[in-house]
Amino acid sequence: MKKAIFPGSFDPLTLGHCEIIEKATQIFDELIVSVGNNYEKKYKFTLDKRLEFISSEFKNNPKVIVKSYDGLTAEFCKKMNVNHIVRGLRNPADFEFEKKIALFNNSLEKIETIFFLTSPNYAFISSSIVREIIDNNGDYRKFVPKSVSF
């Protein structure tokens, strides 16, 4: 069975994230969408709410497993017996950032990172921009799946 992890904070889940999940499930038999929990980071949505957004959105896709984790992604991969990480790329800056993390994870646990390009329709969407729209009472709904409601 080919398994991968798609780690992130998903604060909140966006249409770009959903696109990457859909692409990854075409290649992997199981995709563990791993919601990181960094106690030093200030999140807009609770861990339970972020898990709920993803679980609700992909409830009909048996290839998607949703879990939370603390600590290093490489350690979580080892614990889950997974050798592949999935990441989405929106632009060249994402690639430079993600390349460093991919090399780090590979040096720790021999984990390979698979990059998927986000389509132009979603390349401008980020969770931080969605949070800003929400904080300013804007219409965030066109950037997130229907499961992201509050």
Residues recognised as catalytic: 17, 41, 90, 127
What is the C-alpha separation between 51 and 107, in angstroms, rounded? 29
Is the alpha carbon torsion for 50, 20, 73, 84 positive or negative? Answer: positive
Q: Are 118 and 62 a contacting pair, CB within 8 Å?
A: no
25: closest CA among 64, 81, 69, 77?
Answer: 64
Cis geometry, peptide bond prior to residue 92 (ω within 30 degrees of 0): no
Residue 52: burial class (beta carbons within 10 Å; 0-12, 13-18, 19+): middle
Span between the terminal Cα atoms of the chain, in Å: 36
DSSP state of 148: -
